[in-house]
Structure 1
Amino acid sequence: MPDSVGELGEFGVIDAVTARLPQGPDVLLGPGDDAAVVAAPGGRVVVTTDLLVENRHFRRDWSEPVDIGHKAAAQNLSDVEAMGARPTSLVVGLGLPADLPASWAVSLADGLGAEAALVGASVVGGDVVRSPLVVVSVTALGTLSGAEPVTRAGARAGDVVAVCGRLGWAEAGYQVLSRGFRTPRAVVEAHRRPQVPYGAGAEAAGLGATAMCDVSDGLLGDLGHVAAASGVSIDIDPALVEVAGPLREVASALGADPLTWVLTGGDDNALVATFPAGVELPERWTVIGSVAAGSGVTVAGEEYDAPAGHDHFAG
């Protein structure tokens, strides 16, 4: 194999990447034609897309290409999960510098394929262009299998708010990396590669979730979308929110408040949902708050006086 993607060429890159991406049973026609064909068992397709830009969403000196592939896939697969759907396939657009090592692009593809395989999904196609920075654009498709989607707009007064997955870990890792450190490894790895609670979306839908959202930009910020779409108020009880030991240790070393990371940190791709009061939730779902009439999101009944999450245009 040539050393760089420039030497390999556009179609050589495509061939090298797609050769490492096996196709699952939902794929009727995979890479190699003008478009792929994917089965839609329920007659409807859930679609979402996300864009990762080098030095904005990842750094090559912080993360290995396989980690970036995992992260790019996970962010989109999580959004499909948040609708109560099952992911079936991904389409990937890559912008790559000509001098980027060809092995880097192949390793990225390995990460994309491995993350998709965790839910039985496949990378079915995409495009490659020359770019001054690495850009990864992923579109994910999913099926509802005949069920109704769980949107952000169904929360009702009297519901409880519950979360599934880790919160604050990726932000702790970012804070460590941004100060030039590479340990503790647990939080650094959380920043590099999220641990999505796969299957929790369909599980929540089956339990009667009234609204659901992927937590990618911060718990309070993303719950703000749910509150606005549903026309309700949401209050988080900080006493019910887990602050894991590794977060406390890192925060103590850095002179920071770990609860802030849990409430506002992004990139963990947990799921947060609202459920009718009295629903018995599985152990991996933790009740952290409640829904009432009104508007906005509060913490212990008070307005949160700091940024509630990540805004791509905030600086």
Structure 2
Amino acid sequence: MKLSELGERKFLTTVVRKLLEHSELDDVYHKDGIVYKMDGFPLSFGFTFSDPYDIGWKSITAAVSDVVAKGSLPNEVMISIGLDPDLEVSDASALMEGIIDSTNYYGGKVVGGDTNGSKKGEGWIDVAIIGKALCYKPLSNAKEGDTIVLTNKIGMTTVAFISFLKGIEVPHHFLTSLRHPVANRYLPLVMHNNCEHISTSTDISDGLLISLSKVAEASGKGVNLTTIPYREDVLDQLNRLSMDPFSSLKYGGEEYEALLVVTGREVEHIMEEMSNWGMRPLIVGKVIEREGLYFMGKKMEPSGWDNFRGWD
């Protein structure tokens, strides 16, 4: 069987998990108050409208998003890059500027890494982060009755992805979220102030449905999504593309928002504090007893981008 047949998520759950000493596969590893994160992608993954600076910025944001979503602060950053020797020095410099500017924005520091040569079209960038945990909670902590809060409405990248697939020009402001994404750098402070009321948390850059299913699987519970949390301009554009919002959920991803799974009666207080830091949070669902992923009580399968299969 090939990886394209098995798929990324099944590879992780059926192969990688068996080889590890721990069973929970979270996006961030935590031990003794320190968090560790590794992330990466091929440079060919960039879009035609993205320049080297954009790619450098985004590579850090993608890794940082997982760290801050787990209630942690990024400190030291290391990178490994593989570059085509025929690449212009100015482009390589712009890539590094994007990496350093993004790291500085999130309060971290680039402390080292590795450079390699690569064939044309086969370059890569990997990012490793060591950070300080302020409120790290494993995915397995989600409990029946918990409320699921999303940091902001989403859908900008969904419109961009669907437009590309259909060969339709997309309004420019939808592309900004892909070119220069920004993670919620103040989220760890909110989580630290309310840690006793937070069961768990996760970034949603893999797609909302995939992230919700990770919470359900790790906790042995279920998740009932009660709304499709799209922005109004996203809904308008999906209508123009003749796409219904529910079917469009599978095309999510690369939106660096987070889910907080909140226990008890402090939901409104936590959402108010999030709003004070510039977020526009909303309740998107509940943790329920029966296992699996549901939309308005109806069972559904998690779907989204798979690095081995594509849109799955």
Alpha carbons of 1:69 and 1:253: their partners in 2 closer, same or farther (altered >3 Å)? same
Aligned counterparts of 1:89 and 1:104: Cα–Cα separation in 2 = 24
The residue that corresponds to 1:214 in the other structure is 203
Are residues 1:312 and 2:300 paired?
A: no
The residue that corresponds to 2:239 in the other structure is 252
Are residues 1:58 and 2:53 paired?
A: no
Alpha carbons of 1:163 and 1:287: their partners in 2 closer, same or farther (altered >3 Å)? same
Identity of matched residues, %: 25
Alpha carbons of 1:175 and 1:264: their partners in 2 closer, same or farther (altered >3 Å)? closer
Residue by residue over 1:83-123, the C-alpha shift from the partner in whole angstroms, topping out at 9 and shown as x without a partner, is 21111121111100011111111111111122212221111
Alpha carbons of 1:263 and 1:274: their partners in 2 closer, same or farther (altered >3 Å)? farther
Aligned counterparts of 1:258 and 1:62: Cα–Cα separation in 2 = 26
The residue that corresponds to 1:34 in the other structure is none
Aligned-residue Cα RMSD (Å) equals: 2.1
SS in 1 for 2:201: strand
Aligned counterparts of 1:126 and 1:286: Cα–Cα separation in 2 = 39
TM-score by length of 2: 0.79
Report deviation, 1:54.
Answer: 2.9
Q: How does 1:108-257 map to 2 (within 5 A)?
A: 108-132=95-119, 133-144=122-133, 147=134, 149-179=136-166, 183-207=170-194, 208-238=197-227, 241-257=228-244
Q: Return the match for 2:281 from 276, 279, 285.
A: 285
In the alignment, is the contact (CA less than 8 A) between 1:168 and 1:258 conserved in 2?
Answer: no
Aligned counterparts of 1:261 and 1:139: Cα–Cα separation in 2 = 32
SS in 2 for 1:167: coil
The residue that corresponds to 1:32 in the other structure is none
Q: Structure 1 regions of 5+ residues with no counterpart?
A: 1-41
Are residues 1:87 and 2:74 paired?
A: yes
The aligned amino acid for 2:65 is S
Worse-matched range after superposition: 294-303 or 163-172: 163-172
The residue that corresponds to 1:11 in the other structure is none
The aligned amino acid for 1:297 is L
In the alignment, is the contact (CA less than 8 A) between 1:83 and 1:150 conserved in 2?
Answer: yes
Report deviation, 1:225.
Answer: 0.8
Aligned counterparts of 1:248 and 1:58: Cα–Cα separation in 2 = 25
Aligned counterparts of 1:286 and 1:71: Cα–Cα separation in 2 = 25
Are residues 1:294 and 2:290 paired?
A: yes
Worse-matched range after superposition: 285-294 or 70-79: 285-294
**Count of paired positions:** 267
The aligned amino acid for 1:96 is L
In the alignment, is the contact (CA less than 8 A) between 1:209 and 1:274 conserved in 2?
Answer: yes
SS in 2 for 1:190: helix
Residue by residue over 1:133-182, the C-alpha shift from the partner in whole angstroms, topping out at 9 and shown as x without a partner, is 221111111112xx452221111111100111342212222233455555
In the alignment, is the contact (CA less than 8 A) between 2:42 and 2:123 conserved in 1?
Answer: yes
Report deviation, 1:191.
Answer: 1.8
The aligned amino acid for 1:312 is N
Report deviation, 1:184.
Answer: 0.9
The residue that corresponds to 2:21 in the other structure is none
Residue by residue over 1:50-86, the C-alpha shift from the partner in whole angstroms, topping out at 9 and shown as x without a partner, is 111133x323x23111111111001110111122111
Larger radius of gyration: 1
Aligned counterparts of 1:287 and 1:185: Cα–Cα separation in 2 = 29
Are residues 1:46 and 2:35 paired?
A: yes
Report deviation, 1:183.
Answer: 3.7
The residue that corresponds to 2:8 in the other structure is none
Aligned counterparts of 2:93 and 2:164: Cα–Cα separation in 1 = 25
Residue by residue over 1:256-283, the C-alpha shift from the partner in whole angstroms, topping out at 9 and shown as x without a partner, is 2244445650100110121013112223
Alpha carbons of 1:294 and 1:218: their partners in 2 closer, same or farther (altered >3 Å)? same
Which protein is richer in helix relative to its size? 2
In the alignment, is the contact (CA less than 8 A) between 1:220 and 1:308 conserved in 2?
Answer: yes
Q: Structure 2 regions of 5+ residues with no counterpart?
A: 1-30
TM-score by length of 1: 0.78
The aligned amino acid for 2:198 is A
